[in-house]
Amino acid sequence: MKPIVQISLDVTSIDEALAIAKIAVEAGVDWLEAGTPLLLGEGLHAVAKLREAFPNHPIIADLKTMDGGYLEAEMMAKAGATHVVVMGVACPATVRAVVKAARTYGIKVMGDILAAADPVACAQALEANGVDYVIVHTGFDERGEDPARSPFDHLHDVVKAVSVPVQAVGGLSIDQAAEMPSHGAPLVVVGAPLVIDRKEFRASTEPDELRHILQQLVAKVKSQEV
């Protein structure tokens, strides 16, 4: 697939999310993610507001679903999400329930392998159960305790093991994120390292600076299209 640039709106209020999303769209970002902090702070109303403001952009709801898969996916689809996230360490029945709801409502499923004991096997199981994308994710807390950890720990093995598109997230620099298509991960996502303060979930980048950074990122990623 052609490279895609996604921004994770990891803030806790709709107003902040909409402000950042506006800048991101102006800079050429393709997909908007309602990050987990935003969903915790504002619920599905955040997805609905993003859909209202950006009617033509894909919107990912980063639910990190662990149970109740059909209902959670259904709720986000009805609110306007085009993609939902299920955890690979969830019960396989939950993954299948999310996929079933996605097929019913015409949306896509991203399977996150965060915390999997065997990342490659987890990614393969997610694909076997019908997810459309696999996320190679190194967690915020995990990196906090061990800064050396990154998606590169498992990325190349996962890319070789699955046929669905792969996304890598967690602690990557802007330059590293921009190079992800060359590593077999065409779904480029930027979030917490760019727009979130290290200690607080709040926007930490001035609008003009954010716009400039995102424009450069988009240009670099899109230059890798073949």
The single-letter DSSP state of residue 146 is: -
Q: Which residues of 61-84 are buried (b: 16+ CB within 10 A; e: fewer)?
A: bbbbbeeebbebbbbbbebbbbbb
* pLDDT attached to residue 192: 53
**Two tokens at 61?**
């709801």
What is the pTM (predicted TM-score) of this model? Answer: 0.94
- Say yes or no to pLDDT of 204 above 80: no
The region of weakest confidence among 76-85, 194-203, 211-220 is 194-203
Question: Which tens digit of pLDDT belongs to each residue from 133-190?
Answer: 999 999 999 999 999 999 999 999 999 999 999 999 998 888 899 999 999 999 999 9
The single-letter DSSP state of residue 82 is: S
Question: Which tens digit of pLDDT belongs to each residue from 10-65?
Answer: 989 999 999 999 999 999 999 999 999 999 999 999 999 999 999 999 999 999 99
CATH 2.40.30.10 fits 4-222, yes or no: no
* pLDDT attached to residue 205: 55
* pLDDT attached to residue 199: 47
Cα 38 to chain center, whole Å?
13
Q: Which residues of 155-187 are buried (b: 16+ CB within 10 A; e: fewer)?
A: beebbebbebbbbbbbbbeeebbbbbbebebbb
* pLDDT attached to residue 224: 87
For 14, 64, 162, 216, the CA distances from 204, given in Å and listed in that order, are 16, 24, 36, 18
Instruction: Give the 3-state secondary structure of residue 35.
Output: coil
pLDDT tier for residue 197 given thresholds of 50, 70 and 90: very low
Higher-pLDDT residue of 79 and 172 is: 79
pLDDT tier for residue 194 given thresholds of 50, 70 and 90: low
- Say yes or no to pLDDT of 196 above 80: no
* pLDDT attached to residue 200: 46
pLDDT tier for residue 193 given thresholds of 50, 70 and 90: very low
CA distance 71 to 211: 36
Asked whether the beta carbons of 12 and 168 are under 8 A apart, the reply is: no
CA distance 112 to 110: 6
pLDDT tier for residue 203 given thresholds of 50, 70 and 90: low
